[in-house]
């Protein structure tokens, strides 16, 4: 299995560099690819802040990539949940952190917007200490 970096994901999803995009497509199409949660996290940040893509477009791209044959993702349930919450307006990083806290009694944060956004979504309550 071969793990890929954020720059491979970004070239695959944006095709902004034709040569690198072709190489990324070839590598991913060959299968046996692993993508970590941290690569998804960084990819979302690059696509949103660097490329100014709207959340829905980023969510579609990340979900599509994660669902390709031959692609294995770290913690697929948490990733899927984080993408779903991002589609509903939650910040992706916050959503992924919270989704990966499954089984915890609480998620502590000073971020009141996160606590409000997570209410009625997450089984793990967000508590502002």
pLDDT at site 120: 86
Global pTM reads 0.92
For the chain, percent of residues with pLDDT exceeding 90: 96
For the chain, percent of residues with pLDDT exceeding 70: 100
Assigned domain for 55 exists: yes
For residues 80-109, average pLDDT: 95
Assigned domain for 32 exists: yes
Assigned domain for 64 exists: yes
Summarize pLDDT for 37-90 with one digit per residue, the tens.
999 999 999 999 999 999 999 999 999 999 999 999 999 999 999 999 999 999
**Alpha carbon of 51 to those of 105, 122, 126: distances in Å?**
37, 29, 30
Summarize pLDDT for 4-13 with one digit per residue, the tens.
999 999 999 9
pLDDT at site 74: 97
Assigned domain for 38 exists: yes
Assigned domain for 119 exists: no
* CB neighbour list of residue 29: distance below 8 Å, 6 or more residues apart: 70
Domain count, the chain: 1
Assigned domain for 87 exists: no
Assigned domain for 35 exists: yes
Q: d(Cα 100, Cα 52) in Å, to the nearest integer?
A: 26
Assigned domain for 52 exists: yes
- Residue 9 structural domain: 2-74
């Amino acid at each position: 299995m071969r793990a890929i970096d954020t720059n491979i994901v970004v070239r695959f999803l944006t095709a902004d560099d034709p040569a690198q995009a072709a190489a990324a497509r070839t590598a991913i199409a060959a299968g046996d690819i692993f993508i970590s949660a941290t690569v998804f996290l960084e990819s979302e940040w690059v696509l949103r802040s660097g490329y100014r893509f709207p959340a829905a477009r980023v969510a579609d791209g990340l979900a599509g990539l994660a669902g390709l044959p031959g692609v294995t993702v770290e913690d697929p349930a948490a990733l899927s949940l984080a993408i779903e919450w991002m589609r509903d307006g939650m910040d992706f990083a916050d959503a992924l952190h919270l989704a990966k806290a499954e089984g915890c009694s609480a998620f502590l944060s000073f971020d009141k917007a996160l606590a409000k956004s997570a209410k009625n979504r997450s089984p793990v309550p967000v508590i502002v200490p």
